[in-house]
């Protein structure tokens, strides 16, 4: 069982859940606990099972076997209409022939509320999502971002205990997405509603989630906070899927040492459990590579982080300007056919006068140099 963390009581519990489509297993023995009020993101590549898991929680695709408990109630075999949730789809699914007010009121009309109460609730929700003047319009008259807000208002109209979001921002342009993901997170905090969002966008998951559930081929690879997922990946799939990750062929040397590529000197790494001489992959994120003063094994004092023994002289094969930093592709005789990617600040590039074709010295700090099985290499 993957235990829930953070404050709050256990709200949603998924136990040994499987889902098969004919001979294809879309979900394989999924277990997950989610606390009340948490914002959880299911993250993974296309076809990993994240949307199938969301639909199983909603009852839209019943699991082949396994159990789903919501607020202590077994909902495993209940139809969607008898489960307590609101949902926002990728397409928003607003009714084009109904006004915005009637779209939001749609789910309230079967709850036994009077017209005046429904009207008050609709107005409250329009103010909550920042669109108080749009009630008389139709969906086609609103922008994509506004439609997304209305779909969200409709989903929370009945005060559901669980909010399900199926890639709600994927149809929007980049700037609108950045703005709305902040608004959704603030709204979720204000309401305190337990929220599960499906996304393939790493940045969305890292900025919005309390915890991320990384999935691959129907199984959960890792569950943790955004910081844990990014800085302490459980395996090379997670390390490579979340952000950029260098992968260099290496050999284990002791319990906290490796030699990279073709018989380089032994460098220090995070502690690992590989046998001495075992073929492994050395992994480090581009932003963790530290530049040194050219031609010196001693780091520039403004850039010292970690162990200055882990240094390599490299050739700058290519430099790519990405606005706030330079992405440098570095080569070394020990790296074999692999390149080391380093993301260097504009100030570092200027200070060390770096350019393609020059050599430089880089440090791979011990506390950020990880080791993984060679079999996991991409």
252 and 159 both lie in a single domain:
no
pLDDT given at position 8: 66
220 and 283 both lie in a single domain:
no
79 and 162 both lie in a single domain:
yes
pLDDT digits (tens, 9 = 90+) for 29-71: 999 999 999 999 999 999 999 999 999 999 999 999 999 999 9
76 and 179 both lie in a single domain:
yes
Over residues 188-205, the mean pLDDT reads 94
Q: Is the dihedral of CA 97, 100, 102, 106 positive or negative?
A: positive
Over residues 206-211, the mean pLDDT reads 96
Q: Is residue 109 classed exposed, middle or buried when 0-12, 13-18 and 19+ CB atoms within 10 A define those classes?
A: exposed
Over residues 339-364, the mean pLDDT reads 94
157 and 232 both lie in a single domain:
yes
CATH number, domain at 352? 2.40.50.100
- Does a structural domain hold residue 362? yes
CATH number, domain at 46? 3.40.50.300
Contacts of 330 (CB under 8 A, 6+ apart): 289, 314, 315, 316, 317, 339, 340, 341, 342, 360, 362
Contacts of 344 (CB under 8 A, 6+ apart): 289, 291, 325, 326, 328, 354
pLDDT given at position 307: 43
Which one has a higher pLDDT value, 372 or 169? 372
Over residues 245-272, the mean pLDDT reads 89
Residue 378 scores a pLDDT above 80: no
Residue 1 scores a pLDDT above 50: no
- Does a structural domain hold residue 3? no
pLDDT given at position 308: 58
Rounded alpha-carbon distances, angstroms, from residue 178 to 129, 150, 212: 16, 18, 18
Pick from 52, 3, 15, 6: which is nearest to 192 by CA?
6
pLDDT-based confidence at 91, cuts 50/70/90? confident
pLDDT given at position 298: 42
- Does a structural domain hold residue 79? yes
Residue 243 scores a pLDDT above 70: yes
pLDDT given at position 329: 97
Tokens linked to 15: 């136990």
- 66 lies in which domain range? 10-240
Number of domain units in the chain? 2
pTM of the model: 0.89
165 and 259 both lie in a single domain:
no
- Collapsed DSSP state (helix, strand, coil) of residue 287: helix
Report the interhelical angle of 144-156 vs 174-191 (nearest 10°). Answer: 20
- Does a structural domain hold residue 2? no
pLDDT-based confidence at 355, cuts 50/70/90? very high
Residue 124 scores a pLDDT above 50: yes
pLDDT digits (tens, 9 = 90+) for 6-35: 446 999 999 999 999 999 999 999 999 999
Specify whether the CB–CB gap between 332 and 341 falls below 8 A. Answer: no
- Does a structural domain hold residue 5? no
CA end-to-end span of the chain, whole Å?
A: 28
Tokens linked to 196: 């599960």
pLDDT given at position 213: 98
- Does a structural domain hold residue 61? yes
pLDDT given at position 304: 38
| Residue ending a domain, choose from 188, 211, 240 | 240
Residue 280 scores a pLDDT above 80: yes
- Does a structural domain hold residue 203? yes
pLDDT given at position 299: 41
pLDDT-based confidence at 222, cuts 50/70/90? very high
Percent of the chain surpassing pLDDT 90:
78
Which one has a higher pLDDT value, 76 or 266? 76
225 and 287 both lie in a single domain:
no
211 and 260 both lie in a single domain:
no
Residue 303 scores a pLDDT above 90: no
250 and 229 both lie in a single domain:
no
Q: What is the DSSP string of 32-78?
A: EEEETT-EEEEE-STTSSHHHHHHHHHTSS--SEEEEEETTEE-TT-
Over residues 153-180, the mean pLDDT reads 90
* CA-CA-CA-CA dihedral for 73, 77, 83, 89, to nearest 10: 130
346 and 365 both lie in a single domain:
yes
Percent of the chain surpassing pLDDT 70:
93
Three-state helix/strand/coil letters over 144-209: HHHHHHHHHHHHHCCCCCEEEEECCCCCCCHHHHHHHHHHHHHHHHHHCCEEEEEECCHHHHHHHC
pLDDT-based confidence at 292, cuts 50/70/90? confident
Residue 227 scores a pLDDT above 60: yes
pLDDT digits (tens, 9 = 90+) for 306-331: 445 789 999 999 999 999 999 999 99
pLDDT-based confidence at 287, cuts 50/70/90? very high
332 and 367 both lie in a single domain:
yes
pLDDT-based confidence at 109, cuts 50/70/90? confident
203 and 320 both lie in a single domain:
no
Q: What is the mean pLDDT of the chain?
A: 90
| Residue ending a domain, choose from 196, 218, 240 | 240
- Does a structural domain hold residue 328? yes
| Residue ending a domain, choose from 240, 274, 294 | 240
């Amino acid at each position: 069982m993957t235990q829930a963390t953070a404050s709050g009581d256990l709200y949603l519990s998924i136990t040994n859940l499987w889902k098969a489509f004919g001979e294809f297993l879309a979900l394989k023995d999924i277990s997950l606990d989610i606390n009340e009020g948490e914002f959880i993101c299911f993250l993974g590549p296309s076809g990993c099972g994240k949307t199938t898991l969301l639909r199983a929680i909603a009852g839209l695709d019943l699991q082949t076997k396994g159990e789903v408990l919501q607020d202590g109630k077994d909902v495993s075999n209940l139809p969607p209409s008898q489960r307590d949730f609101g949902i926002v789809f990728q397409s928003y699914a607003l009714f084009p022939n109904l006004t915005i007010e009637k779209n939001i009121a749609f789910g309230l009309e079967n709850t036994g509320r009077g017209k005046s109460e429904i009207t008050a609730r609709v107005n409250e929700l329009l103010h909550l999502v920042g669109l108080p003047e749009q009630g008389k319009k139709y969906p086609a008259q609103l922008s994509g971002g506004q439609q997304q807000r209305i779909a969200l208002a409709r989903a929370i109209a009945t005060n559901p205990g669980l909010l399900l979001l199926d890639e709600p921002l994927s149809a929007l342009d980049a700037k609108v997405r950045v703005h709305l993901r902040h608004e959704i997170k603030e709204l979720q905090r204000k309401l305190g509603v337990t929220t599960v969002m499906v996304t393939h966008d790493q940045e969305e998951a890292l900025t919005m989630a309390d915890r991320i559930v990384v999935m691959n081929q129907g199984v959960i690879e890792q569950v943790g906070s955004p910081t844990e997922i990014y800085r302490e990946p459980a395996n090379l799939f997670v390390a490579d899927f979340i952000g950029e990750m260098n992968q260099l062929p290496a050999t284990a040397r002791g319990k906290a040492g490796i030699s990279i590529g073709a018989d380089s000197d032994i460098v220090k790494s995070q502690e690992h459990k590989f046998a001495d001489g075992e073929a492994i992959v050395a992994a480090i994120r581009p932003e963790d590579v530290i530049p040194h003063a050219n031609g010196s094994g001693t780091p520039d004092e403004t850039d010292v982080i970690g162990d200055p023994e882990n240094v390599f002289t490299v050739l700058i094969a290519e430099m790519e300007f990405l606005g706030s930093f330079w992405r440098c592709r570095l080569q070394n005789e020990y790296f074999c056919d692999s390149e080391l990617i380093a993301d260097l600040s504009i100030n570092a590039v200027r200070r060390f006068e770096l350019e393609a074709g020059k050599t430089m010295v880089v440090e791979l700090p011990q506390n950020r140099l990880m080791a993984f099985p060679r079999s996991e290499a991409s």
